[in-house]
């Protein structure tokens, strides 16, 4: 079961990732060619009308789906060594592939040996969906145009989010114990014949079965949850409940 | 009575008030039934931590003033407002207002 979060990268994050890719690509390409010999630029990709070929670059901490021309590696290799056309022996293609992996690994911030590339890859549609956190960029390198779809894991690795909410988290037990509950103090007055109910009217006085030292129960959470018992006292101008000796564990019903 | 009569009256939504009166008129039928009586003498709001941290002798002030009426409950349901009395060594109540 594949579980991926639903969430878009914000415009600010997309811009930051784009800038990071450009900077890392330039630094990596400098290892392969003079800066003026191999130009590179990134911008935001639009949906590709047609795709000749697709690769998947697995960078361990995330993946990039790469779309481009079928002979992309060969073309890159030719540009690196200054050939007008491919040598036909696969030398330019191998060189291009190696450079490509090296630069992408540098972009991802991992070693080239940690990466794997899958040719003729058939991506699932959701791998290129922005709502899955994918960032799609167009990479123009020495006249070669590639579309890179960076998955959300790689974007997180490149640009970790600052989770502002973390500082405000509180422990679960604190969340529970600081919750307020409505409590009511109830004194049980025994029982009354149903017959006498009909006689109740304003002014009627009823002597109950309950003695004056009958416990007062502090109920909470609705109806009949007795939490504590105690007695009724006066506290200044208000009634008050004074906790008795019985433990709450014994009283809970 | 007329138990059927009670049922007939109770079945009619339009005659709901009349139904209650009929039940009280014929309450002799259920005179042996005893109903729990209690009084709500105060309410307040507490955190769970404070509620379960109460020790013997701790005092919690209620919202209600000393002379505020208490709520009379029959089987846990409020039916009247009243005044809490001491009749000899027992609690008593004086009915002030009925539903």
- In tens, the pLDDT along A145-159 reads 899 999 999 999 999
Q: Give mean pLDDT, residues A205-214.
A: 91
* The CATH fold of domain A176-251: Surface presentation of antigens (SPOA) (2.30.330)
* CATH number for the segment(s) B34-99: 2.30.330.10
Measured between CB atoms, does A224 come within 8 Å of chain B?
Answer: yes
**Inter-chain CB proximity B38 and A186 less than 8 Å:** yes
The pLDDT > 90 percentage for chain A reads 41
Q: Which of residues 127-186 of A touch B (CB under 8 A)?
A: 176-186
- In tens, the pLDDT along A163-207 reads 665 667 889 999 989 999 899 999 999 998 888 888 889 999 999
CA A19 to each of CA A26, A44, A143: distance values in angstroms, whole numbers, following the listed order: 11, 11, 20
pLDDT at A80: 79
User: What are the strands of the beta sheet with B34-47, ordered from one edge?
Assistant: A205-211, B90-98, B77-87, B70-74, B34-47, A180-193, A216-220, A226-235, A238-243, B59-65
Q: How far is CA A57 from the centre of its chain?
A: 23
If you search the block for the tokens 């105060």, which residue do you land on?
A: B42
**Inter-chain CB proximity A243 and B85 less than 8 Å:** no
Probe site for chain A from B42, B77, B89, B95 (most A CB atoms < 10 A): B42
How large is the angle between the packed helices A91-108 and A72-81, nearest 10 degrees?
Answer: 100
With a cut of 60, say whether residue A5 has pLDDT above it. Answer: yes
- The number of beta carbons lying within 10 Å of the beta carbon of residue A82 is 8
DSSP 8-state assignment for residue A48: P
Probe site for chain A from B6, B23, B52, B54 (most A CB atoms < 10 A): B54
- In tens, the pLDDT along A111-138 reads 888 888 898 899 988 888 899 999 999 9
Range of lowest pLDDT (A103-117, A190-204, B3-17, B35-49): B3-17
Q: Give mean pLDDT, residues B67-81.
A: 94
Q: Is this model's pTM higher than 0.80 or not?
A: no
Supply A190's token pair: 């025994």
CA B22 to each of CA B8, B73, B77: distance values in angstroms, whole numbers, following the listed order: 11, 22, 20
Q: Where in chain B is the domain with CATH 2.30.330.10?
A: 34-99
Supply A144's token pair: 């070669």
* The CATH fold of domain A11-164: Chemotaxis protein chec (3.40.1550)
For A50, counting Cβ atoms within 10 Å of its Cβ (0-12 exposed, 13-18 middle, 19+ buried), the class is exposed
ipTM above 0.90, yes or no: no
In which band, very low, low, confident or very high, does the pLDDT at A249 lie, cut at 50, 70 and 90? very low
pLDDT at A50: 66
């Amino acid at each position: 079961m594949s579980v991926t979060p639903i969430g878009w990268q914000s415009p600010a994050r997309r811009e930051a990732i784009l800038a990071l890719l450009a900077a890392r690509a330039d630094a990596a390409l400098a290892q392969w060619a003079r800066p003026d010999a191999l130009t590179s630029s990134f911008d935001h990709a639009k949906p590709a009308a047609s795709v000749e070929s697709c690769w998947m670059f697995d960078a361990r901490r995330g993946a990039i789906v790469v779309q481009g021309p079928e002979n992309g590696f060969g073309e890159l290799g030719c540009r690196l060594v200054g050939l007008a056309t491919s040598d036909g022996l696969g030398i330019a293609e191998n060189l291009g592939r190696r450079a490509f992996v090296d630069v992408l690994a540098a972009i991802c911030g991992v070693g080239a040996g940690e990466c794997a590339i899958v040719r003729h890859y058939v991506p699932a549609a959701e791998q290129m969906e922005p709502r899955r956190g994918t960032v799609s960029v167009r990479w123009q390198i020495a006249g070669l145009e590639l579309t890179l779809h960076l998955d959300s894991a790689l974007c997180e690795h490149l640009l970790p989010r600052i989770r502002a909410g973390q500082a405000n988290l509180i422990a679960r037990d604190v969340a529970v114990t600081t919750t307020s509950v409505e409590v009511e103090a109830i004194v049980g007055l025994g029982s009354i014949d149903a017959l006498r109910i009909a006689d109740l009217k304003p002014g009627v006085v009823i002597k109950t079965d309950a003695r004056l030292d009958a416990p007062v129960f502090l109920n909470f959470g609705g109806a009949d949850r007795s939490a504590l018992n105690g007695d009724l006292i006066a506290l200044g101008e208000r009634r008050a409940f004074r906790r008795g000796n019985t433990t709450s564990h014994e009283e809970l019903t | 009575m007329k138990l059927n009569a009670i049922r007939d009256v109770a079945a009619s939504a339009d005659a709901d008030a009349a139904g209650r009166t009929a039940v009280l008129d014929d309450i002799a039928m259920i005179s042996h039934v005893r109903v729990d009586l209690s009084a709500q003498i105060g309410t307040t709001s507490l955190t769970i931590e404070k509620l379960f941290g109460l020790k013997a002798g701790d005092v919690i002030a209620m919202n209600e003033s000393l002379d505020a009426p208490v709520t009379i409950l029959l089987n846990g349901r409020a039916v009247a407002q009243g005044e809490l009395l001491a009749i000899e060594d027992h609690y008593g109540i004086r009915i002030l207002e009925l539903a």
